[in-house]
Amino acid sequence: MASRFPFPGLPSGWYVVALSEEVKRGQVVPRHYFDQELVVYRGADGVARIAEAYCPHMGAHLGRVGKVEGNVLRCGFHGFQYDGEGRCVATGYDDPPPSRARLRTWEAREQNGLILTWYGAGGEGYDWEVPVLDDADWNRIRWHRFDIATHPQETTENSVDFGHFTRVHGFVDGSITQPIELDGPLLTIAYRAHRPMPMPAMPLWKVPVDYAVKVWGLGYSQVDVRIDPLHLDLRVWVLPVPRDDEHIDLVIGASTKKGLGPLSTYTRRIAHKIVCKEVGEDLDIWTYKKYVERPPLAKGDGPVAIYRRYVKQFYPPFAGVDEAGDEATLKAAVGP
Ligand code: FES
Ligand SMILES: [Fe+2]
């Protein structure tokens, strides 16, 4: 069966392989991401590290039989030990480590409660980073992980798919308050939409909600949400990480700004629930849709065509990109 996602593989970018809270000191956590077996582990020094799961000696799975000892990872099959750079620093015998016994390591960044790694689609290294957010004024983030049969390009496309906010999420009177802007790997756009709130014995209250969307590649989006009448500031994270070409984990986080006193915890819980509910509304669309290469876009769709040009930078150069067709799609979307 043809793939629903005719993309040239998985896009380069920073992806969340684990939450900080999931990897305690001395713990090894197995993960299957980018169609590879990985381990995330934390040494006695508190540093989170990421490596290929298969021991280069004779292939044991370090996520199953590996142990953290101090800051090294020790394989349970013959006792070879690997440091944070993947060098074999000891064997299980008195022999010196064989030079070819080298464990492949992955970049690891730990920030804002997340352990991120860089995936290079063409094997290339990173040349940009995801910013560390100042979280001093923010409550602890609540996280939830969804398991979805889709691709990160599809879920991230939703952030510019203006039309679906009304149909799928029930917002009304939406407008783009800051047009889409591309700056290398960063895409920004802002919206205002209204959430109808039925009030007892009162006319329908349409609560204005402002969204400032920042997308750093296809694995990391962060949305600042402001609900003025409630003086409420939220931060939302939307973090797809591909397990393989057709399946992702979608990690969703929500936090509220401190300063609401006892209401803080309550609003954080509610905000998290609302965000998860909204993702739930998209689930069937993502799970069953296919990617339409040249969609007959209408103006109300939002800047989908610009997004599709933006995403190309995350894939290695590939044959078949039709710039002329791309321009035509763009014109159809935004007008002459
Ligand atoms: S397979 Fe890991 S030490 Fe031999
Ligand atoms: Fe959506």
Q: How confident is the model at residue 305 (pLDDT cuts 50, 70, 90)?
A: very high
Integer-rounded Cα Rg, in Å, for the chain is 22
- Gap from CA of 72 to ligand 2 centroid (Å): 42
Minimum CA distance residue for ligand 1 atom 4: 78
57 lines ligand 1 (CB under 6 A): yes
* Partners of 227 in the β-ladder: 232
Annotate 118-140 with DSSP letters as a single string: EE-TTS---S--PPPP--TTBPP
Q: Which ligand is nearest to the CA of 159?
A: 2
Count how many domains the chain has: 2
**Residues 63 and 149 reside in one and the same domain:** no
- Evaluate if residue 232 carries a pLDDT over 90: no
**Residues 101 and 198 reside in one and the same domain:** no
Rounded CA-CA distance 189/139 in Å is 25
- Gap from CA of 182 to ligand 2 centroid (Å): 21
> Is residue 164 included in any domain, yes or no?
yes
The rounded mean pLDDT for the chain is: 91
Q: Specify the CATH number for the domain of residue 82.
A: 2.102.10.10
**Residues 147 and 101 reside in one and the same domain:** no
Q: Which ligand is nearest to the CA of 163?
A: 2
Beta strand 36-42 pairing with 172-183: unpaired
249-292: pLDDT as tens digits? 999 999 998 887 666 667 777 777 888 899 999 999 999 999 99
- Evaluate if residue 335 carries a pLDDT over 80: no
109 lines ligand 1 (CB under 6 A): no
Contact status, residue 188 vs residue 181, Cβ threshold 8 Å: yes
Q: What was the pLDDT predicted at 197?
A: 78
307-332: pLDDT as tens digits? 999 999 999 884 333 444 444 444 44
Output the six-digit token pair for 212: 């400032």
Minimum CA distance residue for ligand 1 atom 3: 78
144-179: pLDDT as tens digits? 999 999 999 999 999 999 999 999 999 999 999 999
Closest by CA to 50, choosing from 79, 73, 80, 76, is: 73
Pocket test for ligand 1, best of 55, 69, 74 (most atoms within 8 A of CB): 55
**Residues 242 and 160 reside in one and the same domain:** yes
DSSP H helices, 180-313, are 263-288, 304-311
Rounded CA-CA distance 36/34 in Å is 5
Q: Specify the CATH number for the domain of residue 212.
A: 3.90.380.10
- Gap from CA of 26 to ligand 1 centroid (Å): 19
Q: How confident is the model at residue 134 (pLDDT cuts 50, 70, 90)?
A: very high
> Is residue 278 included in any domain, yes or no?
yes
> Is residue 212 included in any domain, yes or no?
yes
Range of the domain at 194: 142-288
Minimum CA distance residue for ligand 1 atom 1: 58
State how far Cα 273 lies from the chain centre: 19
- Gap from CA of 82 to ligand 1 centroid (Å): 11
- Gap from CA of 86 to ligand 1 centroid (Å): 13
Q: What are the CB-based long-range contacts (under 8 Å, 24+) for 51-59?
A: 51/82, 51/86, 51/103, 51/104, 51/105, 51/106, 52/103, 52/104, 52/105, 52/106, 55/80, 55/103, 56/88, 56/100, 56/101, 56/102, 56/103, 56/104, 57/88, 57/101
Pocket test for ligand 1, best of 52, 64, 73, 77 (most atoms within 8 A of CB): 77
**Closest-lying ligand 1 atom to the alpha carbon of residue 78:** 3
CA atoms within 13 Å, Cβ hemisphere of 27: 11
Rounded CA-CA distance 207/228 in Å is 8
Neighbours of ion ligand 2 (CB under 5 A): 158, 282
Output the six-digit token pair for 126: 């990173």
Q: What was the pLDDT predicted at 274?
A: 85
**Closest-lying ligand 1 atom to the alpha carbon of residue 62:** 2
**Residues 99 and 179 reside in one and the same domain:** no
Structure pTM? 0.91
**Residues 187 and 279 reside in one and the same domain:** yes
DSSP summary character for residue 4: S
